[in-house]
Amino acid sequence: MITLSKISDFFTNIKRGIHSTIKWLPVIWKDRQWDHEFFNIILKHKLELMSKFYKQYGCHINAKADAEKMDTCVQLLDRIIKDEYHENTFLDHDKKWGEAELTTKDIPNSEFTELNINRPFIKSAEDKSKEKEESRLLFKHSENLKNKDIELLYKIISDNILCWWD
């Protein structure tokens, strides 16, 4: 038997579904299956919506603290999505050795090309060696920074996902 309550729930669900579709359509429209960035964008959007909800309507004791943890995750996702770890890590290096200039050269009798990275302030073979070693360490450091952000993001989610619900 159809009751007034079931009819009301039906229309409420339609209204919420349309509202949710409108909030998600711009994100889903741009979604693709080939890159982790799209996953991160979807996760960020979900956490933003949840944080906003908890700030406005959260009715459990830790709603505000939970929203703040979600905001921290959103900030981490922003950094991960922007992926500026390399650029930020190499700022002083680029000042010291000059901006990297990339050139390519065809390799005779090969389908491959040779990539050369030159920096204007390298004046000797010793400079080249120092710059190469510094670059190697900075690449490693920038990857470590990114990995730490990813680890922290998923640590926060792992520690809180089961209690982020009213």
pLDDT by residue for the chain (166 residues), tens only, comes to: 666 677 778 888 888 889 888 999 999 998 888 888 999 999 999 999 999 999 998 888 889 999 999 999 999 999 999 999 999 999 999 999 999 999 999 999 989 999 998 999 999 999 999 999 999 999 999 999 999 999 999 999 999 999 887 5
CB contact burial 21-31 (16+ within 10 A = b; e otherwise): eeeeeeeeeee
Q: Which of 92, 76, 95, 72 lies closest to 145, judged by CA?
A: 76
Query: Measuring CA to CA, which residue among 37, 152, 144 is closest to residue 88?
Result: 144
Tokens representing 166? Answer: 């009213």
On whether the CB atoms of residues 82 and 116 are closer than 8 A, the answer is: no
Element (H, E) at 80: helix 63-82
